[in-house]
Structure 1
């Protein structure tokens, strides 16, 4: 989260810094990104950068939060469209989001993000389904925090638990986290598919995700009677 001094800047200066951040974080992953290049493109002194942000990671995740689509609302919309069926909802969500992530205007940034994601960054950028105040989420106001809680609870309320082998909401959270890991890994595999090619095979990306989704939904082990018949 930026320091208070950043929010006291003019809108034009804030946008200039964010434009420089987009350029550098689209060029290189976080670990290789250059603060020197960001301040050069933004036209600010190096000392000023540290008056606005703790470090480049602080700017990186603030930039991500500023440009990301509202994932929680999109998941809720997908779950509503799926009439509470968790796996169908995630399939709807993935189909809608993956095209923008792989081919949209921020594809270069997303590529560096997903191809270099670790456990810590996953928790910083993924939706948060815990009712507690999550330490990885920065809210601009208490109102925004409360809105997040309400939207998250709406997500849980929509899911049809009668179709799932979960005993309670804590187990549901584990399942949802597994599904979100699957979403992110499928996006990363989509970028790896591009190596040596000019474009993505979007059908292959969607097919891969659907295969994994069906394994998690129905299991990958054949029933005993099916194995005996072969």
Structure 2
């Protein structure tokens, strides 16, 4: 998160820094991003940058938090629409986010995010279920309430899970499936001009069905 001095800046100057962040992080992934380019576009001295942020990663995830739609609330809404059915809820959730991520105004940023995602960045941008990675900001009260709402919405009677801890593990698997399918969608769209969102959605549904029903055929005599 930004240092306190960032919040003391005028809204105009804050926005100039955020615009510079969007430009650079949409141009290249975080690992290749240049602080020099950001301060040039933002028209601030290099020393000032470190008065506002610890490093470029600090700015990167703050920018993400400032522009992202609330994934947790969207997931909760999808589960509610699906009457507590976890897999159907995830299908609704994915279908709503995929167009924005692949074709929306921030598609270039999302592409760099998902194509270079690792374990640490996954846990910084995904809704949090279970143990948080070392160094992550502790959840605030609102996040805790949103997360508890999710658990209350899921109909556990429809799942082969013994408790909330097992549900957390299953949901983490589903979130990895969401993000890996998006990354694969970007890759396919780069290689094939006619690769469509419908094909990305079809791949996601296939993976969901494997998780939901299994990928092993039953013997013919069963």
TM-score of the two chains, using structure 1 as the length reference = 0.92
- Structure-2 residue corresponding to 1:88: 88
Tell me the residue number matched to 1:185.
180
Deviation at 1:113, TM superposition (A): 0.3
CA distance in 2, matches of 1:54, 1:13: 18
Aligned counterparts of 1:61 and 1:138: Cα–Cα separation in 2: 15
Unaligned runs of 5+ in 1: 140-144
Match of 1:64 in 2: 64
State the Cα RMSD in Å: 1.8
Q: Is the 8 A contact 1:131 1:149 kept in 2?
A: no
Assess if the C-alpha contact under 8 Å between 2:123 and 2:133 holds in 1.
no
Match in the other structure for 2:129: 129
* Correspondent of 2:157 among 156, 162, 174: 162
- Counterpart residue number, 1:79: 79
Deviations 1:61-81 (A, max 9, x none): 100011010001000000000
1:1-230 equivalences in 2 (<5 Å): 1-130=1-130, 135-137=135-137, 145-198=140-193, 200-224=195-219, 226=220
Distance 1:125 1:44 in 2: 28
Taking structure 2 as the reference length, the TM-score comes to 0.96
Instruction: Please give the secondary structure, in 2, of the residue aligned with 1:194.
Output: helix
Are the equivalent residues in 2 in contact too, given 1:2–1:53 (CA < 8 A)? yes
> Hey, what's the Cα distance between the residues in 1 that align with 2:149 and 2:191?
43
Deviations 1:87-119 (A, max 9, x none): 000000000001100000000000000000011
Write out per-residue CA displacement over residues 96-151 of structure 1, whole angstroms, 9 at most, x where no aligned residue.
00110000000000000000001111011110123889852467xxxxx1111111
Report which stretch shifted further, 128-137 or 36-45.
128-137
Query: Residues of 1 paired with 2:187 and 2:152: CA distance?
Result: 36
2: CA distance, partners of 1:137 / 1:90 = 26
Give unmatched runs, 5+ long, in structure 2: none
Decide whether the 8 Å contact of 1:79 with 1:158 is kept in 2: yes
1:92 to 1:184, Cα distance in 2 relative to 1, 3 A: same
Q: Deviations over 1:33-65 (max 9, x none)?
A: 000000000000000000000000000010001
